[in-house]
Structure 1
Amino acid sequence: MSVGSYITLKIDTRNGNVCSAEGPGLSILGCQAGELVGRDWRELLSDFAAKLGNGIKVYHGAPRLVGKKGDDFAQRLLHIQLPGAVPGREQSTGARIPGKRQLKREWELLTRQAPLTMMLWDIDCLEQIARIFGPEARKKVLKHVSRQAVSLVDDAHRLFKLGNNDFLFVITAKADSQAATRQLFARLIENASQPLKIDNYKLSMTINAGLVRYPDDGTDLDELLKKGGQAIFKAQRSGRNTWTTYDQAMELGLMQEIALGADLQEAILTNKLELYYQPQAQITTGQVTGVEALLRWKHPVYGEIPPACFVPLAERSGFANRLTEWVLQHACRQGKKWLDDGLRFGRIAVNISANCFVGGWLNQAVTRVLADVGLDPQFLELEITENIEVAGVAGVREMLAALRRSGITIAFDDFGIGYSSFKYIKLFPLDTVKIDRLFVADVTHNVSSRAIVQAVIRLAADLGLRTVAEGVETGEQLRFLQAAGCDSYQGYLLSPPAPVHDVAVLLCRHSG
């Protein structure tokens, strides 16, 4: 069955006459809705069969009273599925997929084919594509994926478009099995991944889906759609081309996350967060060359929550910029105080989320904070990771170049653990490369790690970049790094992340 091959009739039960007609199947029959009004629905079915042959299916809705009291009568909805006599017609003409309003009209009829599996799904990274390539690219992607999805519709699968990037397959009892659902999702992924050319790039789309079942997970349509949305949210966090089935524990977990997000926003507003600082030192002289600001949050109920948990929460919840500005404000203010106290710390480093590059926000925020605090830009370093690509390479490069021109230095953090680290040191204007602790940890006994670290140090030197080794914990590691030509190091051998007072003592010792 093609996506447009259905008609919904509203029938007067007193005489069987059609009160109204709608649905894209009207175009298959070559008639207007007004031509059907007033005719007996049974006669219409005979006419439809004469035109299209056998295979017409009729689903009857429950009668409902309409009109004023004392003059009321019953109407019934009939959902008529037409046979695929004109296969692919709607796809080729680009007719729109039925929306949420049509889903609500058909819901009662669909539930008569229970059990149902509802697969809510969306296209990954659609907004990032729009930001990078423009709004026309979003339309092109949606049209491409919609066309691929329509090709999967048949008698057991109904497709609806619930929003700009929200789709729904309703899988009826005819195919309601895990195997059929897996097969549908696999075909959807395969079809969506067919390359689409945008500008000079070939993009392959990925999909995430959430599954919910009628009647096992509920009977109310809006409640089921809400639960399906929760399942999509979990699937998005698990990676691309994944699907997750709703369960109650998931809902409780999401509710807890929402509450935790509200607590984090309050902690930002009431200054209940704290910065620890971890020094960096020159390997040959031991002189402090920088301190990295590391965020800490002690929750009143859950205790210490690691940044690896609450920073992604801020990004998902849409207040990563507010959190970053809080860190910038407090780190720069502390740097200014240390300078006023005569303590030399080199540069103060702040980690920057990829979200902060969107719309040019970061440069404006940094300029504002430095002016408010009165800190010279030469004392600030911004640390980035390769996930900034989602903000668009060209825009990020331009923003980083402007920051460097103002005197701020740029460090590439966690170098070596991503797929594109080497590409980015060519693409982006950088000053420092930080070698990830994963490689530093076993440089003394792993040949591969030794070779990688030595290669990174040589490459950075050839490009005129400083190198900082992270996670240095032993003298043996430090001696290897010194022999390899690494510039600076950071780790527990020098100092763990520490509160302001402890770091001030260390800086005083090195400044004296």
Structure 2
Amino acid sequence: MGDPAPRFRPPKGKEIAIRITLIYLATAFVILLLFEQLLDAVGPDPEAAQQLQRYLGGLFLAITGALIYYVVRRVVSTLNRGEQVLREIVRSVSAAVGEAFFHTLVEKLCLRLGADHALLGRLDGNNPNLVHVVAAYSRGKWLENFDYSLEGTPCASVLTGHPCYYMKNVRHHFPKDEQLASLGVESYMGVPLFDSAGKAMGLLVVMHGKSLKARQRTESMLQIFALRAAAELERLRNEEAILHMAYYDGLTNLPNERMFHERLQQALQQANRSTGQVAVLFLDLDRFKTLSRTLGHALGERLLIAVVERFQERLPPGGTLARLGDDEFGVILTGVESPEEVAEKARGLLDSLRDPLTFSGQEMYVTVSIGIAIYPHDGLQVEELVKNADAAMSRTKEMGKNSFQFYFPELNQWSMQSLILENKLHQALEREEFVLLYQPQLNLQTGTFDGMEALVCWRHPDRETVSPSDFIPLAEETGLIEPIGEWILRTACWQNMEWQKAGLPPQKVAVNISARQFNQLNIAELVGQVLRETGMEPRWLSIEITESAIMQDVQKTRVTLRRLQEMGVTITIDDFGTGYSSLSYLKQFPIQTLKIDKSFIDDLPEGSDDRGITAAIIAMGHTLGMLVIAEGVENEAQLDFLKGRGCDKVQGYLYSPPLLAENLAEMLARGSEASISAG
């Protein structure tokens, strides 16, 4: 690659000095000889001799002046050429930035300094033994960028913070440096590049295929341009950091929402060209906000990072995982062949959280709800697909969480209804639209009425009674479950005291406490306050907590349940068998009652698996000295099976549906004798 500008060659000062000295001595010698011969020629005439001496002296001064002029001119010319080279390089690189600057700089250094090779490298921020070469020029052409290991190379010396100069035999000093050998390098000169904090961040190197004698001017050039190169490297590093902040999450280092949308747009464009499919998965961690508030900010962040690591282990090759919110994530799957394939990937993400996460000796269970939308069936645009996947995720929450749902068109209508319902739910407490029903429990040993469970329903004025399954999950998501739960607890205790004041037989009332209430509020303090205000004895109250709720923070659960036990309140584990607890964990808690989940009762006695699980729960509960209750009993066959396995109590429509307070009072007034009936 030619260049019309002259190369800079260091002046041969020693040769010039010797040459001038020899000329000067030879001239003086000639003049002396000439002076003696002329003196002999003019004879003894003093005036002629003096005149001759003046002529020869003038000649000597003229020659001396000419030599001085030559020396000064040569030095000035040399300085001018050096300055010209410097100006040429400055002019070449002054308008360039980024990669263009680096490439221009190494090229001009090679051409103007007569070097065979030049490179500029950036130190790897994570691996201090690695340099990323961002520009390299070798014998008239640019090289592709490459990574350069510092071990056994002169570059390692440069990045200790000191210039490194080997004027000859550099390969002898670094025999393991394959790069030096492949380029045939004999001399090496490199300087470090420092950032504004004075930390080495890169290096600038020129190399020759021959030994060198002078280094001063090359060293000066490298030092001058090292400052400019370091400034440009730091500017690019800062730009990359800003760009990373704009497109990546600071905690998990995952792509953020902005990057997620851009990658999804690219995936849709590619799928459109190839008539392929793209799946969008919207993931929301169940009850994670409650967990985070309970654990504290720092431990909550560690837990989130651990969850991300679990997800990444199950992420298919080529898939994108992004953090879209505090506890929300998005996944892009390209090249999708069928919904069954996407369902398999979704199950993998669910299974990644099946095992507990351990922190400070405590096991934490986290679950996730997933919504799925597939291009082009569920939308053609990024915003539409994300919105539909989000709607499917919300439906998953409604269906019980810890699962996945595919989007279907009716979900948009359902989402709008859910939003309307949420707005009206905010006003329901003020307007006293909630009503408590009480479902009696039957003691299978005595055949008598033995306790009840308080169940809330919502009598909305514009529609029929709203089922708890429709609004309780929504109340938990919005935080309204806290005031609603407090109202249920207070109303149930107040009503129980009203029955007792009326002379009716005292009965234990069970009140459900949501996971959010249990883990966020000081539930023991709230229960104590309500009991004092209503005047009800603690023995007539049973607190029902789900299995998954008590496993979120085992240590805190143990303390809270101990406080409730010391008050005299009964502790019941609701929906037992659907969570993750084990016999060893149950033994740690002061639990008096297990309530078998309705899902195990539905198929009794035909379902062989349900028969075995139900019998095992009853036997385990009795082994631990606990009372066992079965809920959802609706026929005689179920009742007979439970009686035969020694179940203590049942509740369900076979015995009685949930009743209003006045209807249950009538039942109490008839006495404790109870008969089994379908109605």
Q: TM-score higher than 0.5 here?
A: yes
Matched residue, 1:396 = 557
1:250-399 equivalences in 2 (<5 Å): 250-389=411-550, 391-399=552-560
> Partners of 2:313 and 2:581 in 1: how far apart?
35
> Partners of 2:340 and 2:623 in 1: how far apart?
54
Q: Tell me whether 1:504 sits opposite 2:597 in the alignment.
A: no
**TM-score w.r.t. length of structure 1:** 0.65
Q: 1:432 aligns with which of 593, 599, 617?
A: 593
- Larger strand fraction of residues: 1
CA deviations on 1:391-441 (whole Å, 9 max, x unpaired) are 322222221221121121122334445564755542321222334556667
Amino acid at match of 1:346: Q
> Partners of 2:308 and 2:457 in 1: how far apart?
44
Q: Tell me whether 1:466 sits opposite 2:627 in the alignment.
A: yes
Cα 1:377–1:119 shift into 2, 3 Å: same
Q: Tell me by how many angstroms 1:338 deviates.
A: 0.5
> Partners of 2:409 and 2:550 in 1: how far apart?
35
Contact residue 152 and residue 188 of structure 1 kept, 8 A? no
Q: 1:490 aligns with which of 635, 648, 651?
A: 651
CA deviations on 1:171-224 (whole Å, 9 max, x unpaired) are 7xxx565569968994995799499764457889876464475998465x7676
Amino acid at match of 2:669: C
Q: Tell me by how many angstroms 1:456 deviates.
A: 4.6
> Partners of 1:491 and 1:241 in 2: how far apart?
27
Amino acid at match of 2:477: R
Percent identity of paired positions between Structure 1 and Structure 2:
30
> Partners of 1:477 and 1:216 in 2: how far apart?
43
Indicate the SS of the match to 1:269. coil
Q: Tell me by how many angstroms 1:132 deviates.
A: 6.6
Amino acid at match of 2:532: A
Matched residue, 1:52 = 145
Amino acid at match of 2:513: I
Cα 1:380–1:111 shift into 2, 3 Å: closer
Contact residue 257 and residue 323 of structure 2 kept, 8 A? yes
Amino acid at match of 2:414: G
Matched residue, 1:80 = none
Amino acid at match of 1:324: G
> Partners of 1:157 and 1:482 in 2: how far apart?
53
Contact residue 496 and residue 507 of structure 2 kept, 8 A? no
Contact residue 277 and residue 498 of structure 1 kept, 8 A? yes
Cα 1:113–1:362 shift into 2, 3 Å: same
Indicate the SS of the match to 1:510. coil
> Partners of 1:480 and 1:180 in 2: how far apart?
41
CA deviations on 1:281-332 (whole Å, 9 max, x unpaired) are 4444444331221222333444233323322222233222222112112211
Amino acid at match of 1:52: N
Contact residue 386 and residue 418 of structure 1 kept, 8 A? yes
Q: Tell me by how many angstroms 1:345 deviates.
A: 3.2
Matched residue count = 433
Contact residue 279 and residue 336 of structure 2 kept, 8 A? no
> Partners of 1:29 and 1:135 in 2: how far apart?
40
> Partners of 1:438 and 1:303 in 2: how far apart?
26
Q: 1:413 aligns with which of 574, 577, 583?
A: 574
Cα 1:111–1:295 shift into 2, 3 Å: closer
> Partners of 1:319 and 1:205 in 2: how far apart?
22
Cα 1:360–1:18 shift into 2, 3 Å: farther
Cα 1:280–1:439 shift into 2, 3 Å: same
> Partners of 2:604 and 2:385 in 1: how far apart?
53
CA deviations on 1:472-505 (whole Å, 9 max, x unpaired) are 5567766776665544443445433222222111
Most deviating of 223-232 and 104-113: 104-113
Q: Which runs of 5 or more residues in structure 1 are unaligned?
A: 1-16, 22-27, 32-42, 54-90
Q: Which runs of 5 or more residues in structure 2 are unaligned?
A: 1-94, 100-119, 124-134, 136-140, 147-247, 674-679
> Partners of 1:200 and 1:112 in 2: how far apart?
48
RMSD of aligned Cα (Å): 5.1
**TM-score w.r.t. length of structure 2:** 0.51
Cα 1:269–1:509 shift into 2, 3 Å: same
Matched residue, 2:220 = none
Cα 1:18–1:401 shift into 2, 3 Å: farther
Amino acid at match of 1:335: N
Indicate the SS of the match to 1:430. coil
Contact residue 460 and residue 466 of structure 2 kept, 8 A? yes
> Partners of 1:150 and 1:464 in 2: how far apart?
42
The higher relative CO (CA closer than 8 Å, separation ≥ 6) is in 1
Cα 1:237–1:424 shift into 2, 3 Å: farther
Q: Tell me by how many angstroms 1:353 deviates.
A: 1.7
CA deviations on 1:331-381 (whole Å, 9 max, x unpaired) are 111111101101113211112222211134322332232233232222211
CA deviations on 1:430-467 (whole Å, 9 max, x unpaired) are 22233455666777777876766665555444433233
Cα 1:135–1:277 shift into 2, 3 Å: same
> Partners of 2:121 and 2:371 in 1: how far apart?
35
Q: Tell me by how many angstroms 1:229 deviates.
A: 3.5
1:130-169 equivalences in 2 (<5 Å): 130=292, 134-140=296-302, 142-143=304-305, 161-168=323-330
Amino acid at match of 1:293: A
